[in-house]
Amino acid sequence: MSKAQGQKEGPSNIETAFISSIDGQNSVDISSGIVNLKYYESILQDGVMGSVVFADAGTNGGDSLNGKTVMEGLPLTGSEFIQLKMTDNNDVELKQTMVVTNPTPISEESNKTMVVCSLVSEAYAKNDNTSIFERFDGKISDHVEKILTDNNYLGTAKGLDVEITNNNLSEFGLRRKPYFMLNSFAKKSVPDGGLGNVAGYFFFETSEKMVFKSIDSLFDKEKNKPKRSIIYNESNSKGRMLSDIMNGGRGKDGTPAGYDYKALTYDRVITDVMKRNNMGANATQSRTFNLFTRDYKCTILFSPSIPIDGQAEIKEPLATAGLDLPTFNPNLVKEFARTTISLFDVGTFDPEPLASNESDFEVEDILNQSIMRYNQMFATKVNITIAGDFELHAGDLVFFDAPSPQSDTKNDEVDRQSGGLYIIASLCHFISPERTLTKLTLIRDSFGRTGNHTLRD
């Protein structure tokens, strides 16, 4: 059983929040003056981010420099490092070194100033001041590791979770930024053993590591073990709690048996199907040109939910992480919704360009597959709030259940349509002297409850 069983509510402990001056001569711990702190992770966000609001009191020796405020005595002007260390109510520690941006006084009194600072990761700050000129050859995953670890680029000291790619790629840096290159590589990557129908990776950062993983691996419960089973339940008119009967009662805190803890708030969003369709979730067309052989090729890809009409070369249906993709009315599909136009890079990296007519990157097999996959994985979205849990990270799998929306409230059942495994797309830890909460945005590409919340398989 997870150690988060019966997650405790209440404030966490911000042990330290040291801000160091740019010249390294001074430092100050603002932890005792923090009013609130927010920490963010997301699979759609290149680096971790945050914000902190603190009382900058010059008369308090614990958070001042020779009687001066932090703003004046450090001084605090932006680009300083802040070292955060905090623990939640289950003694899970979160440590992170971040960079302070745009410190701004928001209120001033005779002896105290309230200051708000935005926070970004060190790699995020380095990215804006780093350009890549060199040429990359070989596996894409090797390129990613080099950009992340090379001190000429991001030079991160964090651990790496880089999934090996199946395909090779040659690419010039062309003075582009590291994050631009990493996200470009993500769209062009196929996992090891893939055949082009499972294209698409995500690059993002957590408090523990830099992550470059395929979409299918994120949804794979064998490779990405579910961390939590969470339920949102309400008492009905009989005073019974959802799943009391089916799970053999509930714990002292009211959590049904088999779940780690309850969500405090819950709402579910079905994303706009027309917008996803327009972005290429259901049907895409790829037009490619080979300038050396003068060949032109058109490839149309359809989602498994759309009938294939045979008007053009059709690739095999997309591999899916879930059992049931959301269907789309075939009567509304008269043609593809999105077109990509690409030039083959034949001869770009070969000193004898006419010696080979093979492209370095199979655009029609990979790029449009990843476009469809990115748009399909956001088919349904759930927002929940839980008691602070620092063990959770963006990209983790969780099992979530909610009440069945039935008119008969005596039927104490979970929703078989929305329940099941979800990826944490983003999280926000909110920390204040009074309480600590974690807000999660959960996503998945399919409908229908599968698996078991107790065994998580």
What are 178's two structure tokens? 């590291």
Of 154 and 195, which is predicted with more confidence?
154
Residues 236-259 have a mean pLDDT of 52
pLDDT at residue number 111: 65
Checking if the pLDDT of 219 tops 70, the result is yes
Each residue's pLDDT tens digit, 91-102: 899 999 999 999
Residues 6+ apart with CB under 8 A from 21: 27, 74, 75, 80
> What's the rounded Cα separation, in Å, for the pair 353 and 34?
62
Q: What is the pLDDT of residue 167?
A: 87
Is the pLDDT confidence value at 309 over 60? no
Q: Report, as an integer, the average pLDDT of 348-363.
A: 58
Kindly tell me if the per-residue pLDDT of 166 is higher than 60. yes
Q: Of 42, 1, 2, 34, give the one whose Cα is nearest residue 15.
A: 34
User: Per-residue pLDDT for 323 more than 80?
Assistant: no
Answer for the pair 36, 430: CB distance below 8 angstroms, yes or no: yes
Q: pLDDT digit string (tens) for 274-306?
A: 777 777 777 788 888 877 778 888 877 766 555
Confidence band of 354 (pLDDT split at 50, 70, 90) = very low
Tokens matching residue 76? 């605090």
User: What's the mean pLDDT in 30-49?
Assistant: 96
- Tell me the average pLDDT of the chain: 80
> What per-residue confidence (pLDDT) applies to 339?
82
The residue that leads in pLDDT, 405 or 63, is: 405
- Nearby residues of 376 by Cβ (< 8 Å), 6 or more positions away: 276, 281, 303, 318, 320, 325, 445
pLDDT at position 10 is 64
pLDDT tier, 1 (very low <50, low <70, confident <90, very high otherwise): very low
pLDDT at 430: 95
Burial environment of residue 193 by CB neighbours within 10 A (0 to 12, 13 to 18, 19 or more): exposed
Q: What is the identity of the amino acid at 83?
A: Q
**Least trusted range by pLDDT, from 204-208, 273-277, 389-393:** 273-277
Residue 95 phi/psi, 5-degree rounding, is -120, 135
Q: What percent of the chain has pLDDT over 70?
A: 74
The pLDDT of residue 39 is: 98
Of 109 and 132, the one with more pLDDT: 132
Torsion sign, CA atoms 364, 370, 372, 373: positive
pLDDT digits (tens, 9 = 90+) for 420-436: 889 999 999 999 988 89
Least trusted range by pLDDT, from 172-176, 253-257, 351-355: 351-355
Is it the case that residue 246 has pLDDT exceeding 50?
no
Query: Which element (helix H / strand E) includes 99?
Result: strand 93-108
- pLDDT number for residue 5: 42
What is the structure's pLDDT at 303? 64
pLDDT at residue 247 in the model: 41
107-111, 216-220, 410-414, range with the lowest pLDDT: 410-414
Q: Which pLDDT does position 326 carry in this prediction?
A: 64
The three-state secondary structure class of 399 is strand
